[in-house]
Every structure is written in structure tokens, then in C-alpha cells.
């Protein structure tokens, strides 16, 4: 297939990222290519070898995926076009014939360890944990006989010839991970009425109230924040940029005006896209912030400029 | 002369308002008509009998002139095109031949009394005060022999055949009054770089933070306030509208955007004009609020909407 | 009677102020003394000749009574202990035997003129208006035969031997005036649960955001404003102090902390008292602003200072 | 030695954490015990097996160390008593006799990889990277002959019998890591005039302006923020707590009042300590926020409560 129909993702095969990618209808007609890292998945898009990449950006246990946040903030610009929410539950994958009593060593990604700790101490208190580069990689190592069991998505079992010894494993019942589909910059997809807009802002001379001012640019236009994350700029302790998701679409007036306000007060701004919310929650819009009200106010100003008050 | 070349003012002849009006170069070629009240002066403009009216709007001792503020806020719309600042100092006008020892009764407008109280108790502690409808009217009553002396502008002496017994009388050295030249709504005069924009805002459901929100619409765009005055709406104790002067001209982007923001959150807004500041103080403009920066931000947004980030 | 049982009020007899004063139960056992001006009424309290003074501070048509606001802000300190709300309706008082057809001249205080203008043009379009120093004084002048009719409170009729030709006259149905009972500074009356706290604040170097900062000291502690009024400081155009009424009592923690915050940022603050609201409206209190929550937070801080977290 | 003289740290021996710990004068008289994880280091303190633990909390390349932030926010309370800033530069450690041409495989902690990437591609473009559990562990694996070279602190060389082939390696010249010395809760160390206060705040019902309100509790008291970091609460995507460092010491009034304000509006607050700033930068204090001004305002309020205004 051509690069135009190729999607990369954070691999290897059998990861939750692959499972998330397969929830997209278009995935059925794309070539899905696992990559060794978020950076590699995104670089393939940047250099034109793939049309888009699906990468995790946030999970409910660990917070923002810093590799993704930092890759999107730096390098040549990319844009988010879709998001996918995936509920996370693990299976304990073993070679056929393995029973609970046989499991002396378990493996998985370090992030998985955090999420199954209580289950593990309740069900396999004696098992020794060894970290793997990814959950899927852990499954491969079990298949190769290096460890006895791996925590991974149940969907990874067939890929590696394993069987689930237990499923629906998760210390926190409502754990989920958010993934984003990233492509090269282009016109954002049309607003759906329940959209999200992502951007990164660098604060300037680092004066005390700078973050407050940033938030007020949103607040005064009635644009609600969904997520705000500080990330170091690499210029020393205490120097940050802010990765922000807000309600609404860049084509909506209140969002556009807030972004312009931020563009004016921040030395650097990077727009990361407007796209449909996976949870389809419509915005809670304060009086005076609809497009209709923006247009009416602009009409009024136009009349005032002409002296027709 | 035709109404087009007629200016009304708060009379009678010999008031400070007339003196302020005569500081305008164009006054030399206009028919200047004194009126009995601010309302009468403005109504002549409203009904087309005069091109403009000069009325006092604020003085440094008494604050806002409520008759003017309320007249501008209600009735058919008017707009401010100029402002005039006049330093206020009184003369004590007497009939020729009158000496200090002869002054048993003094008169003047009640506002004058407030401003000469200390002088009076120092120089004429025994004199009885009687209020007049205006300072000029007081001078007339002295000329008619009803009182012995009147506080008025020195310039009123010849009009009434009086002489100044003392001049430069004022308890507060820097007292001044601000007057505005008001006409029917038309395109505002071009910005000069040191302008002022006036408007009246009605708050809606009167929720606790409404005034704070009003001020934030200005603050977030870096537009400084010069004057804010609460006025009752007449709908009961505790119901106000706010008369606000801010720095800048409606054609400037930061001012226009603030006004539109206020238009969106307030149930009613009345634009009262953008006009040159009499004190010619240029605005202190915060980074990110110049028209150039507004334009650059709008260009950036336009590119983002096209995916050119 | 002794000064301790003497109350002054803005006279003369028969004014609305006297009517408001007589609504206070204690008025029955006090010597009520009319004074010629707000200043005179308050000065009698300042110099110990009276225990308290009742003066108007705000009316729903004209706004703040500037004489009262300015007297309370300057001179030796006074405090407000009570407020009285009085619904305002005028009677047209005439000498017995006078009919509508006989009324050629009418009088009253200029403030009354504003409030009966529409009634007058509907019922007595030909009558000439002459202003009087007070409504009661107008009644006296009618009794003396100088004018034909006076607008005043109906209760003023017997005092001057007049009769009401019409009653319940008012252009605005819900017009009312707020009066305050003012005494020398002492411990505020105990909180009732529906109280009001008044103070005057001077802003310092007059930087653009000073008013916003003033309001935020209230807002951040969840203290709602009831009234805010700018008054000139007399130091020149554009220099103001702010007279502010807020919900709550100085003994309540949120109010006390807001006042201390204002004391810290303002070069000058004058506390004017905490007293029961005449309308008995209890405060809308935001979560986290009750005294109980303040105490719990202080306890928590005390523990944290001791390392008991 | 007894637990009272034992300090744990994020091991193994030879890590930057150990180097940071050794910069503390008291380290010379303590038993320093390396632990396998931040959690293990802190748990030793929690259960009384050690007096304190030194753990990394933030680095200038990667941002907040989430393991440390999350451990401090959850579990039984701990407090920070000191911070240490350590400039980060790597050495490339090899077995004696190894030259650049012999290096086919390199190892180190994944965080090190991020910080030496450019150096590596310039000097050893062909070398294969394998991650180790820590930089010190990488050194151990080189000593055991498993890899050819390890990125670690130069100080780690003698511990593992290695030699530096290159030193002062770092892609970003000013990279540094911040470490905190954590103990069981006790009275904070006395203020030095250049202090920092750390706390964690949970927002309640997650209303749009909650973060803005949180920041305003600091801003209105003139307390500057140094660091703010959002961390997931584990209750689902979009649910955060905020880890915040501000200027000043809990014993200072402006800081104490801000913390109490936050305690009142947040459903949960955890105080993490007040301690000297490693960079010794004194606070930029706004007028009206010194302890002296707080005391003066409290005295003023006390007088007002007594009617002595």
C-alpha cells in the first residue's frame, strides 16, 4: 500500500494502542504498522511514510504520556484529528497448560505493574515481577518461555499463541487510556457540536501571574478547560510550557478569540487541532458565548463604528 | 443661523459651561444658545434644533454630574465628540463701589458653596449664604440688588455690570470640571492616539460577580479604565447601570473586542462615543494589545483554520 | 432631654427623613431634632450634641446621596448602626379649599420634581414649577401663600395646615429611599444573619487594575457586593474613592478577612459599620465561606504548623 | 546505626540521587541506604526504618518525576524538609582499556538516553542502546561485561571498577535535577527568608473555573507560584489533583491564609512542607503582603470590631 493509506501506531502488535486503532472504522482499509516508539510512529508521519499515527496521550492512572506530549510540542508541526478512549483491563496470558500454581515469574510494561499491583498481591503474592518493554513484548517473552505469565490485553493472546489464565484484571474499575490520531497539518475536521481543541502555550518572561492570565483568556470567553498539563521546556528547572485541551472547535468564535488572545500574550503557541470528543459530551456554554451572540455583537460594533447606535 | 451651526449649552450666559465652550475654536463660528438645564440643552440636539450641546459631566469636587449621566443613558441615543477640561476658580462679584465691609449676603450655585466654604469662613465669616439656580443667576441677582455679592467666574462680571472684589478663589487648588460636546449619533471622529471611549452597561440578573466580569472584559484585553460610575436604573434600590470611560478608540481592536465582549454579557449596552482625550495622555498599552498584534493573531488563526501551522 | 437621648435628622419637620425615623421603635422615646442639612445633622453627632442622626443615603431614582456619602467618608469617623427603607409616594398638598383648577404654581425639592414629572405633565401641564429647599419647606411656602401646591409626603399635611389634593403620586411605582442611622464609632451591633457592612476605600497609585483587585478581595472570599459607588477624592478629575456595601457582618470571618485584605492593599480604608439589612435578605453563601469552614481551615493550618498533617 | 540516623535514597549506589544526597553536610554522619524504587525509599521512612529519604522530584528535561509526586500525594502523609539541586552531566563509563572503537553497545536509564541522544549520534552513531533499570545498574552490567559502555555520573566509576571514556556529556548545557529530602510529618524547619511551600490540592465537583479559583487564592494574597503540575487522581480521564510549589513559608501570613483559603474550597488538601529554596532566591513580595502588613491589618480589624476606628 502507499504511504497515504498507512497508519503507524505504538507497537508492537497486540498492544492496547493497536486495539484502540482497530476501533476506528477506517482501520479496516489501512495498512497498520507497529513502531518501536511514539517518536518513531510520529516521525513516520512527519516524513511522509505514513498518513497518520495512533499514539497514547493520557491514561487515567499515570496521567499524560510525556513522550507524546513532548513530541507533539516539538519538531515539525503535527495535528490531532481524532481521539479514541479505550477502557483498560488486563488478561494474564500464559502458555497453554499453565495453571496458577505454575506461575513463578510475571512480566508486562511498568505501567501495567502499577495497574495490577493489588490483583497480583491477592492472587499471585509469590510471583516475581520483571518489566518488559511493552505488554505485547512481555507476551512474546512468555511465548519464548522466558517468563511464565504476562499481563496484556486479552486480544494479544492469539498473536503470541497464548491463553488467558485470568481476564478483566484491573485495580481501578474505570481505568481508561486516551489515544490520538495524529497527521500532518491540514484543515481541521468539521465541528460536530461536541469538540475539543488542543494547543501548547509557552509563557514568556515567567512573571508570577502568567498562568492565571493564560487561564483567563479562556475563562473570559466562557471556554471550559478539559485538561491542562505543565511540561518542562528543557531550559531549566521551573521553565514550563502548558499543554491544554479545551471545549469547542477552532471555527467557533469563542474558541478562536481565546486562541488569538493567547497568541497575543504568549511568545509561542502551537495549535494541535480541533476534533470530535470521543465521549461526545457537548459543551456547557455560558450565556453570551454562542456564535450567534458573537455575530450579533460584531454587527452591533459595526453599527457603532458607523454611528448607528 | 441654521440649527446646523447652533450649539446649546447649560446656561445662563456667564456660566463656566459657556467659558468651556468658548475654548473650542469652532465656537467662534457657531451660534451659542444657553439653555435652562442639561436636559433642555440635550433635547435641542435630539430634536434637531441644534447641532451639538456642551454640558458638564464630572467635576473634581462633586463627582459625576448625574443629570448629564442619566440623560445620556436614557432617551434617544446621543454621542460624545469632544471633551473640555476647565480649571475652576471663582471671583466674588459685586456692584461697583462695594467693599468687603459691605457684603452681608452672598449667593451662588450650591456646588459653588461647597468649593468656597473655607475661603468664605476666613474672609467673610459673617456673610449669610443664599443659593441661586446658577452662578450666573446669582450674579444677575446681585446686579438687581437682591444680594451683595455672588461667586461666579470672573468672565461673568461684564455681562452683569459687576466687578470682581476677589479672584482666584477656590478651596482646592486643582479643581476642574470636565465638559462634553454631545451630538446626534454619527461616525466617531478619527483616533488621535490619545482617545477615550464612553459607554453605559446594564448588568443582567444581578449575580454577585457581574461587576467583576464587566471589568474583566476590559482587563483581559489590556484596556485601562479611566472612570466608572454606578447609576441607579430606577428599578429599585440596588439596581444599577455603570457608566464607564476607558482608554482607546472604538476603531482599535482591543477596545472593539472588549465592547463586543460586554455586548455579549450585558443585557443592554449603550455606546456613547470615542473622542480625543482633553489631557492628551496616551494609553499605557500592555504587550499583546496593539492593533498590530491583534492583526498578527488573526492572521495566525486564519492559517490554523487552513491547517497551515 | 440630654444629648444621649437626642436624634437629629435631615429636616425640616415633615420630610420623608422624619417619616423614616419615626418607623424606628426607639424614636418614640427620643427627642427628634430637624437639622438644615445632612452635614449639620451629622456634626451634631460628631460634637456630642446628639446620640445619632438619620440621613438619606441612597434613593432608587437618583442614586447615592452624595452629601451623605462624602460626609461619612471625611471628617471625624462615624458609624452606621441601622438602615431604614421607605417607600416614596408624594401627595400634592394645598391650602384647604384649593382645587385642581386653582393650581398655577407648584413647588418641592428638585429631587421630587424628577419623581413626579410625568404625573405633573399629565395632570397639571400648565403649572409652573419652583424649587424649594426641601419638600417640607415647599409645604410651608404653600401655607404662607407663596405657591399654590407642594409635593411632599402626605404625613406633612397636618404640620403645615394643608390638605392632600392627590396622593400616591409617583412616576416609578417601586421608588424607595434608604436612610441610615449614624452614631459615633462603637462596637457594631451583633450580627443577625442578614447583615450589611459598609466601608470606603481609597485606591493608591491608581494603576489600571486597582478596582479589579479591590473587587477580588471580596470575590475570593465569597463576599457579595450590594452597592459600589465611586466618589471623587477632590484631588482632581479621575481620582476616586469607592463607597462599598457588602453582605455580611464584620464579625464573620469571610468579611473580616476581606476587609483586612483591602486594608493591606489600599492606602486608606474607613470602616463605616456592620448593621442589620432592612430587607432582611440573608446572604447567598458559597461553599467554603462559612465561619465554620474558616475555623476548620484555621485548625487545619494550626495542625500543619505543628506537623500534624 | 539506628533508624533515626538512617537515610534511604533511590539507588543503587552510584546514582545521581546518591551524589545529591552527599551534598548535604549531615550525610557524612548518616547511614545511607540505597533502595530499589522511590516507593521503597519512602516506605522505609513511613514505617520508621529510616529517618528520611532523598528522592528525585523534577528534572529539567523530563519534568515532574511522577512516581515521587504520586507517592507523596497518596499513602500516609510525609513532609519535605530540604531540597537539593544537582547539575546533571554524564560520563561514558567503560572497562579499563576500552576505546571508542570498541563500543558497540551502550546502556543507561531511559531518562539518560533522552539527555545524551545528540551526543550519541555525533560520537557513537553505530552503537546500539539497551535500557537499564538505573544508570548505576547500567554501570554494573558493563562491569559484568554485558554491555560495552554505560552513561552514568562520573562518580559512579570507582564503585564499579570502570573508567570514564568521556565526561561532561549532556545535550542541554543547563540540565539539572531537583531532589527532596522527605521525612515523617513534624514541625517545618524555620523560615530562612527564601523558602518554598509544597502542597497537593484536589478539585471538587470539577466545575470549569475550579483551577482558576485555586490560582486566585494564591494570587490575591500575592503568593507567587513556582511549579504547578496536574496529576490524575486515578478516578478516570479528566480527574486531576494539582501539585503546587509556591514562594514563602507556611508560618508567613500570606502563605498561611492562601493555604486556608484553598483548604476551604478544595475537598482535599495535603500540606507537603515548607523548606529552604536550594536556589536561595528570595520572594518578590507585592505591597500589602508582608507579615508586618498582615499584622497591621489584623490590629486595624480588632480596633474596628471594638468601634475604635
Tell me the pLDDT tens digit for each residue of B14-30. 899 999 999 999 999 99
- Specify the pLDDT at position D62: 79
Q: Is the pLDDT of residue D122 over 80?
A: yes
Write out residues in chain C with pLDDT < 50, as ranges.
none
A288 shares contact with chain B (CB less than 8 Å): yes
- Specify the pLDDT at position C76: 95
Residue in A with minimal Cα distance to B204: A287
Residues D180 and D208 in one domain: no
pLDDT band at B220 (very low <50, low <70, confident <90, very high): very high
Decide which of C45 and D3 is more confident: C45
Q: What CATH code is carried by the domain that includes residue B247?
A: 3.30.70.260
| Chains B and C touch, contact meaning at least 3 pairs of CB atoms under 8 angstroms apart | yes
Q: Answer for the pair D163, D25: CB distance below 8 angstroms, yes or no.
A: no
Residues D84 and D7 in one domain: yes
Residues B226 and B306 in one domain: yes
Q: What CATH code is carried by the domain that includes residue B16?
A: 3.40.190.10
Write out residues in chain A with pLDDT < 70, as ranges.
1, 205-208
- Tens of pLDDT, residues C188-219: 999 999 999 999 999 876 666 788 999 999 99
Q: How many CB pairs under 8 A join B and C?
A: 95
Instruction: Compute the mean pLDDT over every residue in chain B, rounded to the nearest whole number.
Output: 93
Query: Of all helices (H) and strands (E), which one includes residue B211?
Result: helix B210-219
Signed CA dihedral, B23, B27, B32, B36: sign only = negative
Cβ of D225 within 8 Å of Cβ of A232? The answer is: no
**What ipTM is given for this predicted complex?**
0.91
C251 shares contact with chain D (CB less than 8 Å): yes
The domain containing residue B133 runs over which residues?
90-169
Q: How many CB pairs under 8 A join C and D?
A: 97
Shortest CA gap C155–chain B (Å): 23
How many C-beta atoms surround the C-beta of residue B298 within 10 A?
Answer: 16
Residues A307 and A208 in one domain: yes
State the total domains in chain C.
3
pLDDT band at B209 (very low <50, low <70, confident <90, very high): confident
Residues D196 and D140 in one domain: no
How many C-beta atoms surround the C-beta of residue D10 within 10 A?
Answer: 29
Residue in A with minimal Cα distance to D225: A208
A294 shares contact with chain B (CB less than 8 Å): yes
Which of chain B's residues have a Cβ under 8 Å away from the Cβ of C206?
none
Residues D10 and D128 in one domain: no
Cβ of A263 within 8 Å of Cβ of B301? The answer is: yes
Cβ of C236 within 8 Å of Cβ of B176? The answer is: yes
B173 shares contact with chain C (CB less than 8 Å): no
Residues C60 and C148 in one domain: no
Domain boundary residue, one of C102, C134, C169 = C169
Q: Is the pLDDT of residue B142 over 80?
A: yes
Shortest CA gap D125–chain C (Å): 52
Angle D235-D207-A240 from CA coordinates, rounded to 5°: 75
Which of chain D's residues have a Cβ under 8 Å away from the Cβ of C259?
301, 304
Q: Answer for the pair C223, D261: CB distance below 8 angstroms, yes or no.
A: no
**CA-CA distances (angstroms) from residue B47 to B31, B66, B76, B285?**
17, 22, 10, 39
Residues A253 and A290 in one domain: yes
Cβ of A232 within 8 Å of Cβ of D59? The answer is: yes
C232 shares contact with chain B (CB less than 8 Å): yes
- Tens of pLDDT, residues B65-90: 888 999 999 999 999 999 999 999 99
B287 shares contact with chain A (CB less than 8 Å): yes
- Specify the pLDDT at position C131: 79
Please name the chains neighbouring C, where neighbouring means 3+ C-beta pairs under 8 angstroms: B, D
Shortest CA gap A303–chain D (Å): 34
Which of chain B's residues have a Cβ under 8 Å away from the Cβ of A300?
260, 263, 269
Among C208, C220, C285, most B C-beta atoms within 10 A, so best to mutate, is C208
Which of chain B's residues have a Cβ under 8 Å away from the Cβ of C234?
60-61, 172, 175
Residue in B with minimal Cα distance to C61: B234
- Specify the pLDDT at position D164: 97
- Tens of pLDDT, residues D60-75: 887 888 889 999 999 9
Residue in B with minimal Cα distance to C283: B208
State the average pLDDT over residues D240-267.
95
C297 closest CB neighbour out of D213, D220, D264:
D264
Which residues, numbered 76 to 115 in chain C, qualify as contacts with chain D under a Cβ-Cβ cut-off of 8 Å? 77, 79
A271 closest CB neighbour out of B260, B287, B309:
B309
Among D303, D304, D307, most C C-beta atoms within 10 A, so best to mutate, is D304
Which residues, numbered 111 to 140 in chain C, qualify as contacts with chain B under a Cβ-Cβ cut-off of 8 Å? 131, 133
Residue in C with minimal Cα distance to B225: C208
- How far apart CA B11 and CA D300 sit, in angstroms, is 49
Residues A180 and A211 in one domain: no
Cβ of C172 within 8 Å of Cβ of B58? The answer is: no
Tell me the pTM.
0.91
State the average pLDDT over residues D106-114.
86
Residues A228 and A83 in one domain: no
Cβ of A297 within 8 Å of Cβ of B260? The answer is: yes
Decide which of B2 and C99 is more confident: C99
Cβ of A79 within 8 Å of Cβ of B259? The answer is: no
Which of chain C's residues have a Cβ under 8 Å away from the Cβ of B175?
234
State the average pLDDT over residues D87-116.
92
Decide which of A203 and D119 is more confident: D119
State the average pLDDT over residues B254-269.
96
D218 shares contact with chain C (CB less than 8 Å): no
Q: Is the pLDDT of residue D207 over 70?
A: no
B189 shares contact with chain A (CB less than 8 Å): no
Residues D176 and D52 in one domain: yes
- By CB neighbour count within 10 A (0-12 exposed, 13-18 middle, 19+ buried), where does A95 fall? middle
Shortest CA gap A272–chain B (Å): 9
Cβ of C209 within 8 Å of Cβ of B219? The answer is: yes
Locate B71 and state its grid cell.
440623560
Please name the chains neighbouring B, where neighbouring means 3+ C-beta pairs under 8 angstroms: A, C
D249 shares contact with chain C (CB less than 8 Å): no
C174 shares contact with chain B (CB less than 8 Å): yes
Cβ of C294 within 8 Å of Cβ of D260? The answer is: yes
What is the C-alpha R_g of chain C? 23
Residues, chain C? 309
Which of chain B's residues have a Cβ under 8 Å away from the Cβ of C226?
238
- How far apart CA D207 and CA B154 sit, in angstroms, is 63
**Which residues sit opposite C150 in a β-bridge?**
C93, C107
State the average pLDDT over residues B144-171.
95
Cβ of C230 within 8 Å of Cβ of B66? The answer is: no
Q: Is the pLDDT of residue D41 over 80?
A: yes
| Chains D and C touch, contact meaning at least 3 pairs of CB atoms under 8 angstroms apart | yes
Residues B177 and B197 in one domain: no
Amino acid at each position: 500500500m502507499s504511504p497515504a493509506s498507512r497508519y503507524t501506531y505504538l507497537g508492537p502488535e497486540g498492544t492496547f494502542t493497536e486495539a484502540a486503532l482497530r476501533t476506528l472504522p477506517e482501520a479496516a482499509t489501512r495498512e497498520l504498522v507497529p513502531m518501536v516508539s511514539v517518536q518513531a510512529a510520529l516521525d513516520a508521519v512527519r516524513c511522509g511514510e505514513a498518513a497518520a499515527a495512533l499514539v497514547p496521550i493520557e491514561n487515567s492512572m499515570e496521567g499524560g504520556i510525556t513522550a507524546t506530549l513532548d513530541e507533539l510540542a516539538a519538531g515539525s508541526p503535527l495535528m490531532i484529528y481524532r481521539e479514541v478512549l479505550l477502557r483498560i483491563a488486563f488478561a494474564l496470558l500464559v502458555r497453554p497448560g499453565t495453571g496458577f500454581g505454575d506461575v513463578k515469574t510475571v512480566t508486562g510494561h511498568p505501567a501495567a505493574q502499577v495497574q495490577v499491583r493489588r490483583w497480583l498481591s491477592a492472587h499471585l503474592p509469590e510471583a516475581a515481577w520483571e518489566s518488559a518493554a511493552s505488554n505485547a513484548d512481555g507476551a512474546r517473552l512468555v511465548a519464548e518461555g522466558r517468563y511464565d505469565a504476562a499481563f496484556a490485553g486479552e486480544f494479544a493472546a492469539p498473536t503470541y499463541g497464548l491463553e488467558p489464565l485470568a481476564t478483566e484484571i484491573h485495580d481501578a474499575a474505570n481505568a481508561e487510556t486516551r489515544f490520538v490520531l495524529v497527521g500532518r497539518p491540514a484543515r481541521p475536521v468539521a465541528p460536530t457540536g461536541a469538540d475539543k481543541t488542543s494547543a501548547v502555550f509557552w509563557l514568556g518572561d515567567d512573571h508570577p501571574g502568567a498562568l492565571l492570565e493564560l487561564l483567563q483568556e479562556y475563562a473570559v470567553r466562557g471556554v471550559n478547560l478539559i485538561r491542562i498539563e505543565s511540561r518542562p521546556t528543557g531550559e531549566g528547572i521551573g521553565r514550563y510550557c502548558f499543554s491544554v485541551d479545551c471545549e469547542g472547535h477552532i471555527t467557533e468564535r469563542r474558541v478562536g478569540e481565546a486562541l488569538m488572545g493567547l497568541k497575543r500574550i504568549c511568545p509561542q503557541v502551537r495549535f494541535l487541532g480541533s476534533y470530535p470528543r470521543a465521549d461526545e459530551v457537548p459543551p456547557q456554554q455560558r450565556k453570551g458565548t454562542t456564535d450567534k451572540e458573537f455575530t450579533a455583537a460584531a454587527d452591533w460594533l459595526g453599527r457603532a463604528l458607523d454611528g448607528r447606535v
